[in-house]
């Protein structure tokens, strides 16, 4: 199943994507924003499959932020309904393609029916080992960090954790992404050059790729373009070019 194009010597283990631009894509076509979100779901299907085929091991998609709850009620409702349909429709394909679903975010804020289907897909795909698909839903990085700090603080006060033992690994283990590697590549579609409260801790050393392409137009070729750009980057992690050995 895994097919790595020759020119792509270096496939990132973990790719994270801020899927932005659905609304503007629809507005450019004089259609309602939800029309853009629907087309965006098609991109999600295509990108999940393409990433799996290329050999990406973790794919994290920013689907709905804590801040997105402030959008008009009809848009939020429409997005939740699209999410439910997507999960219902994709379960079989996830099992066939060995994709394990995870959710990053405040799941309890999602509508009950969405929570149910989400739990079901998470349970059913728990054993899948081909690729991990993390959907960031009702996700905010600051909330995630605060929750982690609260949990660590509680353990310190009840004596189950020694404050001296807190290090980056302990902290990491209290995040939604616990047990997963940090993203190697962060892609943002839609032209904006900001992080919008996404994975602030985890992307410390990610390569960042901004593109003006709107999410509904971001398909397999656009993903390959991003991966090729990633392969050309020199990741130095604070060292010199000579130390990391590639010039």
- Active-site residues, by number, are 20, 68
| Runs of H (alpha helix) within the chain | 22-28, 33-54, 73-96, 112-124, 141-157, 168-172, 220-232, 241-244
- Asked whether 48 and 91 are in contact (CB, 8 A), the reply is no
Other Cβ atoms less than 10 A from the Cβ of 15: the count is 26
- Of the CA atoms within 13 Å of residue 166, those in its CB half-sphere come to 14
Nearer to ligand IPE by Cβ, of 139 and 230: the residue is 139
Interacting span for ligand IPE (CB under 6 A) from 5-13, 56-64, 205-213, 226-234: 56-64
How far does Cα 41 stand from its chain's mean position?
A: 14
Nearer to ligand IPE by Cβ, of 11 and 39: the residue is 39
Task: Single out the residue of 8, 13, 49, 68 in contact with ligand IPE (rule: CB under 6 A).
Answer: 68
Nearer to Mg ion by Cβ, of 20 and 102: the residue is 20
- The distance of closest approach from Cβ of residue 179 to ligand IPE in the complex, given in angstroms and rounded to an integer, is 23
Task: Single out the residue of 78, 105, 183, 190 in contact with ligand IPE (rule: CB under 6 A).
Answer: 190
- The distance of closest approach from Cβ of residue 40 to ligand IPE in the complex, given in angstroms and rounded to an integer, is 6
**Is 20 near ligand IPE (CB under 6 A)?**
yes
- The distance of closest approach from Cβ of residue 168 to Mg ion in the complex, given in angstroms and rounded to an integer, is 31
**Is 35 near ligand IPE (CB under 6 A)?**
no
Partner whose binding site includes residue 19, from Mg ion, ligand IPE, none (CB under 5 to 8 Å by kind)? ligand IPE
- Phi and psi at residue 65, to the nearest 5°: -95, 165
Task: Single out the residue of 17, 18, 20, 35 in contact with Mg ion (rule: CB under 5 A).
Answer: 20
What are 85's two structure tokens?
A: 């349909």
Nearer to ligand IPE by Cβ, of 11 and 222: the residue is 222
| CA–CA dist 126, 132 (Å, integer) | 10
| CA–CA dist 126, 53 (Å, integer) | 20
Closest-by-Cβ residue to ligand IPE is 23
**How far apart are the two ends of the chain, measured CA to CA in Å?**
33
Interacting span for ligand IPE (CB under 6 A) from 61-69, 117-125, 155-163, 237-245: 61-69
139 CB-contact burial (10 Å; exposed 0-12 / middle 13-18 / buried 19+)? buried
Nearer to ligand IPE by Cβ, of 5 and 111: the residue is 111
Token look-up 């993390």 returns 134
| CA–CA dist 149, 223 (Å, integer) | 35
Partner whose binding site includes residue 12, from Mg ion, ligand IPE, none (CB under 5 to 8 Å by kind)? none
Residues that bind ligand IPE (CB under 6 A): 18-24, 62-65, 67-68, 79, 190, 192, 194, 196
Question: For binding to Mg ion (CB under 5 A), which residues are involved?
Answer: 20
């Amino acid at each position: 199943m895994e097919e790595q194009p020759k020119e792509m010597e270096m496939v990132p283990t973990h790719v994270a994507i801020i899927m932005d631009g659905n609304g503007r894509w629809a507005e450019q076509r004089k259609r309602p924003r939800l029309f853009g979100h629907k087309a965006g779901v098609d991109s999600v299907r295509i990108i999940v499959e393409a990433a799996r085929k290329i050999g990406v091991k973790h794919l994290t998609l920013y689907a709905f932020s804590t801040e997105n709850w402030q959008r008009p009620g009809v848009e939020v409702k429409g997005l939740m309904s699209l999410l439910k349909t997507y999960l219902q429709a994709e379960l079989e394909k996830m099992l066939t393609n060995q994709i394990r679903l995870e959710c990053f975010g405040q799941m309890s804020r999602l509508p009950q029916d969405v929570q149910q289907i989400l739990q079901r897909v998470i349970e059913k795909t728990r054993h899948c080992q081909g690729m991990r698909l993390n959907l960031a839903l009702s996700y905010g990085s600051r909330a995630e960090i605060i929750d982690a700090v609260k949990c660590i603080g509680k353990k310190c006060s009840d004596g189950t954790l020694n404050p001296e033992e807190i290090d980056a690994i302990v902290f990491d283990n209290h995040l939604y992404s616990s047990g997963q590697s940090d993203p190697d590549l962060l892609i943002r579609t839609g032209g904006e050059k900001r992080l919008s409260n996404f994975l602030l801790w985890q992307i410390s050393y990610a390569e960042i790729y901004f593109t003006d392409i709107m999410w509904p137009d971001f398909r397999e070729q656009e993903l390959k373009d991003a991966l090729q750009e990633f392969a050309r980057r020199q990741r130095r992690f604070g060292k010199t070019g000579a130390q990391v050995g590639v010039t």
